[in-house]
Chains A and B, each alone.
Chain A
């Protein structure tokens, strides 16, 4: 069996989990294996939707002890389920929770682990992963030495494809509790905007923005085209009050949106490493020699303080963000 750990948010399967599940279905078909989806929490309401993405079996560990996320508690559920079902592959999305629990579950199973993968295949009955290293400056093909193989899938890379599965529901016993660490509270709850790592469109600003207050221009453009705002390390480190969570690059978030619009970003190696996986790249910069133009599908040599408001205005006129 290929087992996929799925996260729910407000009763819906999170998009990165649906992507992992779809990729799991593809691998299970290739290897002639069953696909299981595993959920854990106080309630598994919404888990039945896993059948839409091809789950043959939907496993649910439901209990008060799992109401709050616990690294060791959830790792125990995943490792126990892998063993109980004789699964050989465990997948999760490379989300904050996925990246926290998957390596711990792997170690518990004595299994190898490949994180944040962008490609998966079954070769001779075993998982093989392709993953970016050096923040995307190179790609490593990783093979596993262990009987069980664990990987997390990078959001926005694998398509979430609907394919009906049997979706037979099965309960899994929740652990009693007494975990070593537990999440007590969520601070600064999501603003409703998606995180950079999951965003489809990113509008990013660099040193050329001149001041943090000018990021309002990028917010307006992002709102007009349905995107979120990021920043280069130069901008985050400039003391403009931009949080590190906005930073795109090797020392920030590594992103792979459909569209990345770089405004006033020269294109330092460490920034390019974090965004070169974007499908389409637009560069807006005064300096025609800026290295970012080498990467850009569309380049605009010009003053971002003129071009960005024009873009916002035109996009609003075209009604782009409304779909």
Chain B
């Protein structure tokens, strides 16, 4: 079994977002970069499959030199090798899907794992687009994954419950929180990772489907008001306000 885990470097969820001078991109000053949280579940799942039934795990990211950090971490956690596809990994998901597909086709991967969305871009699109470009099966927002002989069975989150998707490998599976509990890198893993190299390849040319023309902060919310008094008075005042002013009820 050969698994490709596609991971993305994203701004920490506690970061405040500022718009750069160009008006259409993120101001990278003061941004702390992390592995996209959903990708951690994808990586953990790959390592568990490796530990369970045996697998070769390749971690891949699309980005610039700075993205090497997430690959080093993946190696420390147990990935066998890592690939940095040099290209714009923060932009259009269709372009990123084409770059990863161009690298991965003909390499015999049985399973592609990634987060159900890249935190920040929030497109939730790269996984299904990769599946389509490669012409293989997909299962998105997966909270449980079982592999059979050339098949998979995945439980994925839907409105008010979950559904079971079955299909043939190779497949793209995108991870949701709940799939597993990601581990921390061990000292032994960190030392072992130092001996592993990160392969660096220029990403294949890709056609972008969309582009961001402006990036803007949301409008400030108008100042609200405090409801004073003891709990019964506060409760009554709130319900009156929601009924008469907000007209929610």
Contact = CB atoms under 8 A, between A and B. Distances in A.
A100 B140 contact: yes
A180 B121 contact: no
Contacts of A106: 94, 125, 129, 209
A180 B171 contact: yes
Interface string A131-149: 1111111111111111000
Between B177, B210, B241, the greatest number of chain A beta carbons within 10 A of the residue's beta carbon is seen for B210
A300 B93 contact: no
Interface stretch (A27-35, A160-168, A190-198): A190-198
Contact of A184 (B38, B159, B165, B209): B165
Contacts of B97: 107
Contacts of B157: 96, 245
A144 B210 contact: yes
**Contact count band on B:** 35 or more
B246 interface: yes
B124 A115 contact: yes
Given A142-B212, A180-B171, A300 B234 contact: yes
Interface in B110-125: 119-125
B202 interface: no
B210 A311 contact: no
Contact of B123 (A115, A134, A188, A279): A115
Interface stretch (A43-51, A54-62, A301-309): A301-309
Given A106-B94, A113-B94, A145-B209, A133 B122 contact: yes
B238 A300 contact: yes
B212 A134 contact: no
A189 B128 CA distance: 25
Interface string A274-308: 00100111100000000001111111111100110
B158 interface: yes
Contact of A251 (B119, B138, B168, B241): B119
Interface stretch (A82-90, A211-219, A313-321): A313-321
Given A180-B168, A181-B167, A306 B231 contact: yes
Given A182-B167, A307-B235, A145 B208 contact: yes
A269 interface: yes
Grouping DSSP codes into helix (H, G, I), strand (E, B) and loop, the B interface class, with mixed when no group exceeds half, is: mixed
Contact of A189 (B160, B209, B214): B160
A136 to B, nearest CB: 7
A112 interface: yes
Interface in B131-184: 131-133, 136-141, 143, 153, 155-168, 171, 176-178
Interface stretch (B81-89, B190-198, B215-223): B215-223
B29 interface: no
B227 interface: yes
Contacts of B131: 71-72, 104
Contact of A112 (B92, B167, B178, B239): B92
A302 B163 contact: no
A315 B210 CA distance: 47
Contact of B177 (A97, A251, A306): A251
B140 to A, nearest CB: 5
A298 B224 CA distance: 6
A244 interface: yes
Nearest to A252: B177
5 contacts: A104-B132, A107-B97, A180-B171, A251-B13, A276-B221
Interface of A: 69, 71-72, 75, 95-97, 99-101, 103-104, 106-108, 110-116, 128, 131-146, 179-191, 193-195, 197-198, 201, 225, 243-245, 247, 250-252, 254, 258-259, 268-270, 273, 276, 279-282, 293-303, 306-307, 310-311, 313-315, 318, 320, 323
